Amino acid sequence: MRVIFAGTPEFARSALAALHAAGHDIVGVLTQPDRPAGRGMKLQASAVKQFAVSQGLTVVQPHSLKLDGKYPAEAQAAKAFIANAQADVMVVAAYGLILPQWVLDAPRYGCLNIHASLLPRWRGAAPIHRAIEAGDAETGVTIMQMDAGLDTGDMLLEEKCPITEQDTTASLHDKLAEVGARMIVNALLQAGHFKPVKQPLEGVTYAHKIEKSEAAIDWTEAAQVLAQRVRAFDPFPGMTMLCGDEVVKVWQAHAAPLPLDIAHQKAPGTLLSIHEEGLRVACGEGILCLTQLQKAGGKRQAAADFVRSFKGQLGDVFQS
């Protein structure tokens, strides 16, 4: 099958690699333009582009596909490329650009999206993060026929995946990337024979993009909520707290039982105990035990290593 692939990050690279290995004719790859990254802020190709180049695939990197937008020449060039490709289908995975109607209509079987949630829950940019943050017990992957809405198209295939209490966005991402890669290969075997299912009107939620401004720990929240957010924000952006004037990232934490003798007696953010097993901090509800931390410029450390150079004292109040 002649396939145009549109995607950018590692999640999408897994799907592209699977389609390539399955023998499909990848007639073109759309991915976001190279972006500055790393300490030197040098231009870096996306994971999808790196794979595509390694396999000799044609890569197109428009800033936009809107013909009347800010980059009309790039959009027109992309339109000509897509038309000439005469693709049977476009597979889309975490591409990051809005697809106008002319793109959706171009391939024979339209555009199929690999979405990392069980739609209609967690439409939008950050479904993996938000599922963990919300404490969902499961998530999954939906193969969807794209339309002009935001993840509103008909569902073609879905597969569920449990979320464990140890899962971070990083670990769940890898699981779902593997599931999505396998599913899209299966989906193309069924092209032309799908029985599309309309998304339910009930249960719609939106997974808004993760912002760095969300990273500061609000100690007035419940410990369980904060523990879920710590897992959700690993590897990006990482939850942060202020220890005096120093910003410290918290990478692992769990809600701990609340001893009766301190129940409702300490202000949120108060350091209750310092042990090698973790720093215990009072929250608006419950106690958060911090078990892996990172000082500015340092590496992630288990609490046992972190406390050796920790200057804080019992009763200190951490700030957001």
Residue 169 is predicted with a pLDDT of 98
Percent of the chain residues topping a pLDDT of 90 = 88
Residue 209 is predicted with a pLDDT of 95
Phi, psi of 72 (to 5 degrees): -65, -35
Average pLDDT, the chain: 95
pLDDT at residue 52 is higher than 90: yes
Bridge partners, residue 90, by sequence: 4, 111
Q: Mind listing the pLDDT tens digit for each residue in 260-279?
A: 555 557 899 999 999 889 99
Percent of the chain residues topping a pLDDT of 70 = 98
pLDDT at residue 245 is higher than 90: no
Q: How confident is the model at residue 257 (pLDDT cuts 50, 70, 90)?
A: confident
Buried b (16+ CB within 10 A) or exposed e, 231-257: bbbbeeebbbbebeeeebbbbbbbbbe
Residue 223 is predicted with a pLDDT of 96
Residue 264 is predicted with a pLDDT of 56
User: Which of 80-84, 165-169, 260-264, 286-290 has the least mean pLDDT?
Assistant: 260-264
pLDDT at residue 192 is higher than 90: no
How much is the pTM? Answer: 0.94
List, in sequence order, every beta strand (DSSP E) within 178-260: 206-207, 239-243, 246-256
Largest pairwise CA distance in the chain: 73
Q: Mind listing the pLDDT tens digit for each residue in 144-153?
A: 999 999 999 9
Using CA atoms, how far residue 83 sits from 26, 96, 160, in Å, is 14, 21, 35
Q: Within 13 Å of residue 264, how many CA atoms lie on the same side as its CB?
A: 0
Q: Mind listing the pLDDT tens digit for each residue in 92-142?
A: 999 999 999 999 999 999 999 999 999 999 999 999 999 999 999 999 999
Pairing of strands 89-93, 2-7: parallel
Transcribe 154-174 into DSSP letters. PEEEEEEEE--TT--HHHHHH
